Amino acid sequence: MTAMDDSSTRGRSSRSTGSARLTDVARVAGVAPMTVSRALNRPELVSESTRLRVQRAVLETGYVPNRVAGALASSRSRLVALLVPTVAHSLFAEVVQTVMGVLAPQGYQVLLGLTGYTPEQEETILETVLSRRPDGIVLTGCRHSALTRQRLLSAKVPLVEIWDMSDDPVDMLVGFSHEAVGRAVAEHLLARGYRRFGLISADDSRGRRRVAGFIAGLEGAGEGTYQLREVGTPSSMPWGRGMSAELLDSHSLDAIVCSSDILALGVLAEAQSRGLAVPDRLAIMGFGDSSYAGASFPALSTVRIDGAAIGLRAAEHLLQRMAQPTFERAGQSQDVGFEIIDRDTT
């Protein structure tokens, strides 16, 4: 067996792994490695012709910068974790798009994590996220397990909790009160003469708090009755239709209030299948003002949450905090509020 030339071995290893190095880019571009580094990280420091030569060399070699090494040197990962329950709901998708749109031009990459609707799943994902040493975290909700809260308090990472309200945020909080939403909806429907309510809610903590607020609104007014049904997460039209059928079969109702627009559309489908006039015979209220709420027939009454505003303010707060040389928890909250949208179903 003939001994293999060492340079040939190195060449094969580089090609087989596909891991081009900065020195490879420098060789192809005909410049020094330091020039490549400047062209990639501080392009304003090199001439336009040099920058283009480096870009062509990067394309030819398939080079990917080693961000881990840079993060170790600067103690910055340039990574922000964005944790939401789901992207199936357009409201959360709106938050994701806005946060990414604000952070990307500032040189931050967003790691998206789906926490579902259980504390256990949130714990698991957060542990993984913190192990990556992100520069900042945007986390949906402020009701966490004891372990998750302790980890968030111990980690010296700027954090913005969103989509909720609390007197004791871990760091920064941008959202709204779910209890206040429930009370406002109860007052709104009572003022329109509805008294016998069916409530269909997802079995997550935020949906349950809106239900609690609605019931508190009825009790505060001293009138109105209700029947409550819960469904799993994420919500769906079939669940809305099935639960409303059960409620309508067993109770005399004049309004059904849902924890999401998708559930409310299921109720609307069931009402139409029974020939119930909406809203004369049955009023229907959703939550979220999804893109399809105003396009349904009749148009769905709902509660509007400005997801883009939440995402924008969360990203801006995070950028401000990440730019500070030292870490100090803010303990501040910002309530963006909500709006009841009264359309044809009420």
pLDDT for 17-29, tens place per residue?
346 788 999 999 9
Q: Would you place residue 14 in the very low, low, confident or very high pLDDT band (cuts 50, 70, 90)?
A: very low
- Distance (Å, rounded) from C-alpha 135 to C-alpha 84? 18
Beta bridge pairs of residue 257: 199, 285
The separation between the first and the last C-alpha atoms of the chain, rounded to the nearest angstrom, is 86
Q: What is the mean pLDDT of residues 254-278?
A: 97
pLDDT of residue 162: 97
Q: Categorize the per-residue pLDDT at 9 as very low, low, confident or very high, splitting at 50, 70 and 90.
A: very low
pLDDT digits (tens, 9 = 90+) for 35-88: 998 998 888 899 999 999 998 998 888 777 765 555 555 567 789 999 999 887
- Assign 285 a pLDDT band (cuts: 50, 70, 90): very high
Residue 186 confidence (pLDDT) above 70 = yes
Residue 298 reports pLDDT greater than 70? yes
**Average pLDDT in the chain:** 89
What pLDDT score does 267 carry?
98
Please report how the helices 307-322 and 90-103 are oriented relative to each other, as an axis angle in degrees rounded to 10: 30
Q: For residue 147, what pLDDT is reported?
A: 87
pLDDT at 115 over 60: yes
- pLDDT, residue 70, reads 55
Which residues, other chains included, contact 299 with Cβ-Cβ below 8 Å and sequence gap of 6+? 293, 343, 344, 345
Q: Where are the beta strands (DSSP E) in 68-190?
A: 79-84, 109-114, 136-140, 159-162, 172-175
Q: Is the model's pLDDT at 145 over the cut of 50? A: yes
Higher pLDDT, 210 or 62: 210
Question: What are the structural domains of the chain?
Answer: 6-65 (1.10.260.40), 77-176+308-338 (3.40.50.2300), 178-304 (3.40.50.2300)
> What residue type is assigned to position 83 of the chain?
L
